[in-house]
Structure 1
Amino acid sequence: MVIRKRRRGKYNAQPVVIDGIRFASKAEGAYYRLIRNKPQKVTIQESFEILSAFKINGKRYSAR
């Protein structure tokens, strides 16, 4: 039976768990601790429309 060591990532980041959330590095965990005490609301990957639908010479172009 071969026992393999667990490979570390390219940047030697060590995963950390804070408040039940797993972060890929200690730096991400430290940033989370910094922003969790702030009263502002943080949104992640908020969707928005860059360009709405429009018509040119009777041809309709869809929103992207």
Structure 2
Amino acid sequence: MRYYNKYNAQPVVIDGIRFASKAEGAYYMLIRNKTQKITMQEHFEIISAFVING
């Protein structure tokens, strides 16, 4: 059974990573061969942990 979303995008799996559409998979294929390091999602801290009332 194939899964389609409301935009009729077909999911695709490339290198063990599931992408919601063929367009996302094509973009991944484009950037994976770049020589510079590209992260898909960068991790960052918005605010450091703190204690309230002691």
Task: Please give the TM-score of this superposition, normalised by the length of structure 2.
Answer: 0.67
> Which amino acid letter does the alignment assign opposite residue 46 of structure 1?
H
Larger radius of gyration: 1
**In 2, Cα distance between equivalents of 1:23 and 1:14:** 9
Structure 2 counterpart of 1:15, from 11, 14, 18: 11
Structure 1 unaligned regions, length at least 5:
50-64
**In 2, Cα distance between equivalents of 1:16 and 1:41:** 23
Structure 2 unaligned regions, length at least 5:
47-54
> How many pairs were matched up?
47
Computed over aligned residues only, the root mean square deviation of the Cα atoms, in angstroms, reads 2.3
**In 2, Cα distance between equivalents of 1:17 and 1:7:** 13
Give aligned-pair identity as a percent. Answer: 71
